[in-house]
Amino acid sequence: MKSLQFKLTEESLISIFDSLDHNMSIMDKELNILWANKAFAERLGMNPEDVKGKKCYSLWHKRSSPCEGCPCVKALQTGNTETAENISDEGRHYILTGFPLKENGEIKAVFEIGKEVTEKKIINEKFKEAIKLEGIYEVLNNLTHQFNNIFNGIYGFAQLLKERVTDKNYSPYIEKLIESVEKGVKLIQDLLALRKAPSMTKVFDLNFLVISTKDVLKNIAGEKINLKISLSKESPLIKGDPQQLREVLVELVQNAKNAIPDEGVISISTEKIKIDTEEKIVLTISDNGVGMDKETLEKCFEPLFTQDPRKFGMGLSIVKNIVQKHNGFIELKSSPHTGTTVKIFFPLATLQQEQDT
């Protein structure tokens, strides 16, 4: 049997690396990018040629110095392969590995591979969170039931005392008793009304969030719908919880998809604008679907309002709640047969805000 003869050329290697979904790059000792594969550049919304000569920490994190615990810095210092886990500003999880590249025994550069493990992390964390919340709400419901019975008994007897005790010296004590019971009932109501606030607040680039969610959004849209993405050339920095805003993006694209009976277009864009003297970041999701009439448009953000009997009608009300918690607001335009456009306005954030938190 003949042995297989094959010469692995630089062109072949580049072709292989470009076909892989992991971020790959080669950097010099100052972490200037000498080469990057297609996946690396696309996650930044750039072309491979455009990232050359730039600092990796500047591109990914808008930093002026290397990240703490960077495996590439360690690999350049130790001469060994180094690995670390990193979370990008928009909440994407990566396993980063730095390989020192040597020439005649001297370290000349570093080769980095970034493997994204976001979905696995989210699934694990959501599963743990769901178990915890299920337990917490079960305990709260049980406590609420028990305390309501206790408070109702105390409240009823306190009212009887108020009616039957004629000695006015006891009246202030009875009033205090009734007031305390009412406070206890209010406390239980507040516990049950707890809503999740932004839990992982940070300053991040909205473009990166859209890019990192692109594959999920394409899968939602399906093969018959053309998903168009147009990103701001200026870095649209906002402050908030990337995972919650990712859910907003997913929910709105799902709604847009549901509004398109067959083939159609969903457009997503980001831009930086000025309203009066205030700078805003705008996320726009539009479709050419069936649209909404005036009555539906007025009610679509109300909890439990839905025209689909299979759904609970909570999606848009949750979206609105999340946006408001991020100090943003929503504009929605739609009419029958002309599609729907949703614009979400966020305050422009700065890197200084990240340093101040």
Q: How confident is the model at residue 1 (pLDDT cuts 50, 70, 90)?
A: very low
Q: How far apart are CA 217 and CA 280, in angstroms?
A: 24
pLDDT mean over 274-301: 87
Per-residue pLDDT at 123 exceeds 70: no
Question: Within 13 Å and on the Cβ side, how many CA atoms surround 257?
Answer: 18
The pLDDT of residue 101 is 93
Per-residue pLDDT at 196 exceeds 90: no
Per-residue pLDDT at 300 exceeds 60: yes
Q: How far apart are CA 207 and CA 91, in angstroms?
A: 13
The pLDDT of residue 61 is 84
User: Closest Cα partner for 353 from 239, 273, 245?
Assistant: 239
Strands (E), 64-209: 82-87, 93-103, 106-116, 202-205
Per-residue pLDDT at 76 exceeds 90: yes
The pLDDT of residue 3 is 53
The pLDDT of residue 310 is 38
> Mean pLDDT lowest for which of 127-136, 149-158, 167-176, 268-277?
127-136
pLDDT mean over 86-96: 80
| Domains and their CATH numbers in the chain | 10-116 (3.30.450.20), 120-192 (no CATH), 202-356 (3.30.565.10)
> Mean pLDDT lowest for which of 83-92, 102-111, 193-202, 278-287?
193-202
Residue 244, Cβ density class (10 Å: 0-12 exposed, 13-18 middle, ≥19 buried): buried
The pLDDT of residue 241 is 87
Q: Which residues contact 148 (CB under 8 A, 6 or more apart)?
A: 185, 188
pLDDT mean over 302-310: 53
Per-residue pLDDT at 53 exceeds 90: yes
Q: How confident is the model at residue 99 (pLDDT cuts 50, 70, 90)?
A: very high
pLDDT mean over 328-345: 91
pLDDT: which is higher, 203 or 133:
203
197 phi and psi angles, rounded to 5 deg: -95, 165
Per-residue pLDDT at 25 exceeds 90: yes
Per-residue pLDDT at 135 exceeds 80: no
User: Closest Cα partner for 153 from 164, 161, 163?
Assistant: 161
The pLDDT of residue 62 is 85
pLDDT mean over 225-232: 93
> Mean pLDDT lowest for which of 62-71, 141-150, 163-172, 268-277?
141-150
Q: How confident is the model at residue 170 (pLDDT cuts 50, 70, 90)?
A: confident
SS3 9: coil
The pLDDT of residue 354 is 60
Q: Which amino acid is at 91?
A: G
Per-residue pLDDT at 200 exceeds 90: no
pLDDT mean over 283-310: 75
The pLDDT of residue 314 is 47
